[in-house]
Amino acid sequence: MRIPGLNVQWKALPGDAPAAIAPVGEWQWTEAARLVREGGGRLVALWGADHRDLAEDEDEYSVYAAYAVKDGLAVAELLVQDSAPSYPDLSGLFPAAGRMQRALFDLLGIGASGAADTRPWLRHGAWPGEAYPLRRDFDAAAVPPNALADYEFVRVEGDGVHEIPVGPIHAGIIEPGHFRFSIVGEKVLRLEERLGYVHKGIDKRFEEFSVAEGHRLAGRVSGDSTVAFAWAYAQAAESLLGVVPPPRARWLRAMLLERERVANHLGDLGALGNDAAFGFALAQFMRLKEDWLRENAAVFGHRLLMDLVVPGGVTRAFGAPQAEAMIAHAHAIEREVNELRVIFEEHAGLQDRFLTTGRVTPELARMLGLTGLAGRASGQASDLRVDFPAVPYGELAVKRAGSSSGDVAARVNVRFDELLESLRLVRAIALAAPDGELRVDLPQPRPQAFGVGWVEGWRGEAFVALEAGEGGLIRRCHAHDPSWQNWPLIEHAVIGNIVPDFPLINKSFNLSYSGGDC
Amino acid sequence: MLRILYKIVRTGIVSEAAPGPDEELRAGAPQIQAEILQLLGRALAIRQVDAGSCNGCELEIHALNNPYYNLEGLGIRFVASPRHADMLLVTGPVAKNMEHALRIAWEATPDPKLVVAVGDCGCTGGIFGESYASCGKVANVIPVDVAIPGCPPTPLAILQGILTAVASRSE
């Protein structure tokens, strides 16, 4: 019953992510999307793989679409013949698919037939249009020198309309991307994003890693979500290996994930205050964040918690004195956060900047597929920790945060609520984490074994699909950041706002460039 | 307003003048200021360029501005334009899609200029290496004075790397 009404053979995938996969025909590919859309589901990720060297009769690629449905994750796999490498466009049903389809074409050379926008997305000229890096026969040595390609931005015309081009290098310590504003006076008529600048070829790079080691690369898809991606990767690896991590490891993973959420929310709340010219907030929250990161280093050996979640378990644990220290620290931070929240709420100047700024209505959020934290601030109630609680979240009874006002203020409030909830979770996990093994040994993966991972990171759902190859190596790994879904919403959120509010609106989403471009 | 003032007073000064949890940092701070004043006679202006990092290095560079490290208190500040900068602080690997932008930022920085590469990726290409999409280390694209290893390096290590670059210019 993965997608009610779709008559296909679902194969359940083992592991923590409640997922199933089914082969679909071309007609069912579109029908699945339509049924998910009508049933209130979401498109989580869209990607492809080159299976021509494995195909028995006609050369084949696979194109995958992962949907969030009522009972979990439903992955539709469409086989595409080499003679006509295309598949039906999904962007009419799920607008977020548009950029994913453009990226899929840049990397694999399979196009979405019927798509309105076929401009390159990740390919800026570093490799030629007829070379596709994710094809098995791609020859990196044959790629000619980097040549910049022009990009056709959509032009807004009219009396007094002019453009402000920003980036790729921004005026601050921020990741690179290009924003093209069309404005009249101070008012934004249109924003067009052009991303892909930090495309590092991660999907291709995965092919050089073993299934047992890929978590290190996954943990660097987006540095601020290293735990979320390493955990999603570990889930995918454990799913295809048929391995179950020990209970202690699962509790420790949740501890690390909640600590990552706390660190990011502390940093964002400070930066949001700062972007509204309230420097006090930056100083206070960055102080709290630094204390938190120093505790990460003291207890887990790494300030950002990298390389701690591995397939089969985790690499480090904490002892009883450290648990006590973490509980006390979480209490202390909670007190300070509550104080700062009152200051935020009573500050008329700050609220004036936050309220009604950068609004995404629940209707628009649903239509375009806004997800994660920003989605919850616009009435989209999904939180994997609540909806599909894997161990230990079932026992922790996570309280879902949410708002329907969809403005900067809502995204600030959701952060406050989730920050306080995560501080509670850190304490609960420190108290209740069971004793036992930290990790289990991994068997050799079976070639073509397939698994997925799905974790609610601080920004939203981190998704990883993994396919094993020969000799323990990764054949194909796709890491999907929720920023793919959310970037297009910023283009809508800024319409009608003034240019100086853009940094504030952008920060209130705080999307990853690296995670989407990867 | 009273709450804000109360909070400021109660927080006090957590910067290096007060004993912090990192002894090594405390010892380093006054020396950094003396070096800069002696060699430059003015503030050091840094333009940070993310040329392809995972954003981990940026998080730690941001931390330099927190009250513990108080970078601006040392006379070092981040500026918005390479034309205002003495130093480029570059994280990498340099994505092929950022190669051109990095070059023009470097050309726009007035001489004499310093380049500090931050993180394992900036130093060697790191986990991403060289590929169809990555030029690898920063030195493959622009000349580098100092490279700071680490994934990511701690704020203290980044601070020490900046100092090393400033010291090396006097030679």
Q: Look at A287 and B67 and tell me if their CB atoms are within 8 Å.
A: yes
Query: Is residue B37 pLDDT above 80, yes or no?
Result: no
Cβ within 8 Å of residue A141, ≥6 positions away: none
pLDDT band (50, 70, 90) for residue B24:
very low
Minimal Cα–Cα distance from B164 to chain A, Å?
Answer: 21
Q: Look at A223 and B81 and tell me if their CB atoms are within 8 Å.
A: no
Contacts of B132 in chain A (CB under 8 A): 126-127, 133, 138, 140, 143, 201, 204
Q: List the structure tokens of B127.
A: 């986990």
Residue B82 in contact with residue B47, Cβ under 8 Å? yes
pLDDT band (50, 70, 90) for residue B15:
confident
Q: Look at B66 and A340 and tell me if their CB atoms are within 8 Å.
A: no
Q: Look at A198 and B63 and tell me if their CB atoms are within 8 Å.
A: no
Q: Look at A304 and B61 and tell me if their CB atoms are within 8 Å.
A: no
Domain ranges of chain A: 11-124, 202-517
Q: Look at B63 and A293 and tell me if their CB atoms are within 8 Å.
A: yes
Q: Look at A287 and B93 and tell me if their CB atoms are within 8 Å.
A: no
pLDDT of amino acid B123: 95
Residue B96 in contact with residue B134, Cβ under 8 Å? yes
Contacts of A287 in chain B (CB under 8 A): 11, 14, 66-68
Q: Look at A200 and B7 and tell me if their CB atoms are within 8 Å.
A: no
pLDDT band (50, 70, 90) for residue B36:
low
What angle, 0 to 180 degrees and rounded to 10, lies between the N-to-C axes of helices A483-493 and A97-108? 130
Contacts of A197 in chain B (CB under 8 A): 52, 95, 97-98, 101
10 Å CB burial of residue A76 (0-12, 13-18, 19+) is: buried
Beta strands across the sheet bearing B44-50: B76-78, B44-50, B87-91, B114-118, B146-148
How far is the C-alpha of B85 from the C-alpha of B110, rounded, in Å? 7
10 Å CB burial of residue A59 (0-12, 13-18, 19+) is: middle
Q: Which of A198, A296, A350, A458 to mutate to test the interface with B (most CBs of B within 10 A)?
A: A198
Q: Residues B76-83: what's their mean pLDDT?
A: 94
For every one of its 518 residues, what pLDDT tens digit does chain A have, with 9 covering 90 and above?
A: 699 999 999 999 999 999 999 999 999 999 999 999 999 999 999 999 999 999 777 779 999 999 999 999 999 999 999 888 999 999 999 999 999 999 999 999 999 999 999 999 999 999 999 999 999 999 988 888 888 888 999 999 999 999 999 989 998 999 999 999 999 999 999 999 999 999 999 999 999 999 999 999 999 999 999 999 999 999 999 999 999 999 999 999 999 999 999 999 999 999 999 999 999 999 999 999 999 999 999 999 999 999 999 999 999 999 999 999 999 999 999 999 999 999 999 999 999 999 999 999 999 999 999 999 999 999 999 999 999 998 999 999 999 999 999 999 999 999 999 999 999 999 999 999 999 999 999 999 999 999 999 999 999 999 999 999 999 999 999 999 999 999 999 999 999 999 999 999 999 999 999 999 98
Question: Chain A residue with minimal CA distance to B50?
Answer: A175
Question: Chain A residue with minimal CA distance to B91?
Answer: A175
* Pick from A124, A226, A339: CB nearest B7: A339
Q: Look at B132 and A204 and tell me if their CB atoms are within 8 Å.
A: yes
Determine the Cα angle at A406 with ends A401 and A410, to 5°. Answer: 50
pLDDT of amino acid A59: 79
pLDDT of amino acid A315: 98
Q: Look at B61 and A173 and tell me if their CB atoms are within 8 Å.
A: yes
Q: Look at A197 and B98 and tell me if their CB atoms are within 8 Å.
A: yes
Query: Is residue B23 pLDDT above 60, yes or no?
Result: no
How far is the C-alpha of A413 from the C-alpha of A224, rounded, in Å? 20
pLDDT of amino acid B160: 86
How far is the C-alpha of B47 from the C-alpha of B60, rounded, in Å? 15
How many contacts, defined by CB atoms under 8 Å, are there between A and B? Answer: 160
pLDDT of amino acid A316: 96
A11-124 CATH: 3.30.460.80
pLDDT band (50, 70, 90) for residue B31:
very low
Contacts of B23 in chain A (CB under 8 A): none
Q: Do A11-124 and A202-517 come out as alike in CATH topology?
A: no
How far is the C-alpha of A96 from the C-alpha of B58, rounded, in Å? 28
**Read out DSSP for A451-470?**
EEEEEE-SSSEEEEEEEE-G
Contacts of A284 in chain B (CB under 8 A): 7, 11
pLDDT band (50, 70, 90) for residue B38:
low
Asked whether the bond before A434 is cis by omega within 30 degrees of 0, the reply is no
Q: Which of B72, B97, B106, B138 to mutate to test the interface with A (most CBs of A within 10 A)?
A: B97
How far is the C-alpha of A478 from the C-alpha of A323, rounded, in Å? 35
Architecture of domain A202-517: Orthogonal Bundle (1.10)
How far is the C-alpha of A339 from the C-alpha of B79, rounded, in Å? 32
Per-residue CA distances from A329 to A268, A296, A415, A424, B63 (Å): 20, 11, 19, 11, 20
pLDDT of amino acid B168: 57
Domains of chain B (ranges, CATH numbers): 2-169 (3.40.50.12280)
Contacts of B151 in chain A (CB under 8 A): 220, 306
Q: Which of B1, B4, B66 to mutate to test the interface with A (most CBs of A within 10 A)?
A: B66
Q: Look at B80 and A172 and tell me if their CB atoms are within 8 Å.
A: yes
Q: In the 8-state DSSP scheme, what is residue B128?
A: T
Other beta carbons within 10 angstroms of residue A92's beta carbon come to: 16
Other beta carbons within 10 angstroms of residue A444's beta carbon come to: 12
> For residue A411, which of A320, A314, A493 has the smallest C-alpha distance?
A493
pLDDT band (50, 70, 90) for residue B17:
very low
